[in-house]
C-alpha cells in the first residue's frame, strides 16, 4: 500500500519548549492508527502540525507525494485531510444541518456568479448538498435533530456531529482528536 501521510523530522518548538522533536512516522492507505500518550505528550500538536494550524519549526509533512508543510488549514482540508478537535468546535450559531452543509461547501463546483444570480448550477448543487447532508445525518442518527441549534445537543451528540462534519469534507485521511472524550 502507498503512503498516505508522512512526517519527516517533524519538530515543533514554542520558545524554549520543544513539544515535538524529530518525529518520523507514516500512515499507509486504509491503515487505522492510534496515537496514544499522557496529557501534554504532544498528540494534539502532531494533529496541528499535520493540518496546518502550526508550521513545524523544522521537518516536512507530506500527503501522498505532495509536500503540505506550511500550507493553510483550508488548503490542507481541500487536499483531503479532515479532523475533529480535542475541544468541540462547532459553528455555535448554526443548526445541526447547517454545520454539516458548511463542510460540503469545501468542494463546491459553482462559482460566485452562479451563486449571486441563483442560476441553475447553483440551485442544482445546493439541492445535491442538502440531500447529502440529510443522508449523512440519518446515517449517524442525527436526522431528527437537523433543525435544532447545535448547542442544544447533548455533549456526545455534539461530538458525533463534529465527526459527521469532518466526514462531509470527503477526507482521504481523518484525524480524530480525543473522539471518545466526554
Over residues 26-37, the mean pLDDT reads: 94
| 6 band by pLDDT with thresholds 50, 70 and 90 | very high
In this structure, what C-alpha cell is assigned to residue 114? 452562479
Whether residue 1 is predicted with pLDDT greater than 90 in this model: the reply is no
Q: Looking at residue 141, what is its pLDDT? A: 97
Task: Check if the beta carbon of residue 81 is closer than 8 Å to that of residue 27.
Answer: no
pLDDT above 70 as % of the chain: 96
| 111 band by pLDDT with thresholds 50, 70 and 90 | low
Q: Is residue 3 within a helix (H) or strand (E), and if so which, with residue range?
A: strand 3-14
Task: Check if the beta carbon of residue 96 is closer than 8 Å to that of residue 161.
Answer: yes
Q: Looking at residue 182, what is its pLDDT? A: 64
Whether residue 124 is predicted with pLDDT greater than 90 in this model: the reply is no
Cα–Cα distance between 58 and 66 in angstroms, integer? 17
Q: Looking at residue 48, what is its pLDDT? A: 96
Q: Is this prediction's pTM over 0.75?
A: yes
Q: Looking at residue 110, what is its pLDDT? A: 67
List all residues 6 or more positions away from 7 whose beta carbon is below 8 Å from its beta carbon.
Answer: 23, 24, 25, 26, 46, 49, 50, 59, 60, 61, 62
Q: Phi/psi at 98 (nearest 5 deg)?
A: -70, -30
Whether residue 119 is predicted with pLDDT greater than 80 in this model: the reply is no
Q: Looking at residue 123, what is its pLDDT? A: 82
Convert the pLDDT of each residue in 50-103 to its tens digit. 999 999 999 999 999 999 999 999 999 999 999 999 889 999 999 999 999 999
CA atoms within 13 A on the CB side of 36: 3
Whether residue 131 is predicted with pLDDT greater than 80 in this model: the reply is yes
Amino acid at each position: 500500500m502507498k503512503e498516505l501521510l508522512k512526517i519527516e523530522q517533524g519538530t515543533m518548538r514554542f520558545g524554549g519548549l520543544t513539544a515535538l522533536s524529530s518525529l518520523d512516522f507514516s500512515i499507509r492507505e486504509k491503515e487505522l492508527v492510534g496515537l496514544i500518550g499522557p496529557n501534554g505528550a504532544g498528540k494534539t500538536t502532531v494533529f496541528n502540525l499535520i493540518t496546518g494550524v502550526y508550521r513545524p519549526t523544522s521537518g516536512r509533512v507530506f500527503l501522498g507525494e505532495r509536500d503540505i508543510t506550511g500550507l493553510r488549514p483550508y488548503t490542507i482540508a481541500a487536499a483531503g485531510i479532515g479532523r475533529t478537535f480535542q475541544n468541540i468546535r462547532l459553528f455555535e450559531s448554526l443548526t445541526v444541518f447547517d454545520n454539516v452543509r458548511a463542510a460540503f461547501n469545501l468542494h463546491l463546483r459553482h462559482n460566485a456568479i452562479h451563486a449571486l444570480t441563483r442560476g441553475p448550477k447553483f440551485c442544482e448543487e445546493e439541492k445535491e448538498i442538502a440531500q447529502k447532508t440529510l443522508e449523512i445525518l440519518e446515517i449517524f442518527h442525527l436526522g431528527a435533530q437537523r433543525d435544532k441549534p447545535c448547542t442544544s445537543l447533548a455533549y456526545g451528540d455534539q461530538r458525533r456531529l463534529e465527526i459527521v462534519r469532518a466526514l462531509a469534507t470527503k477526507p482521504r485521511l481523518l484525524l480524530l482528536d480525543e473522539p471518545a472524550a466526554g
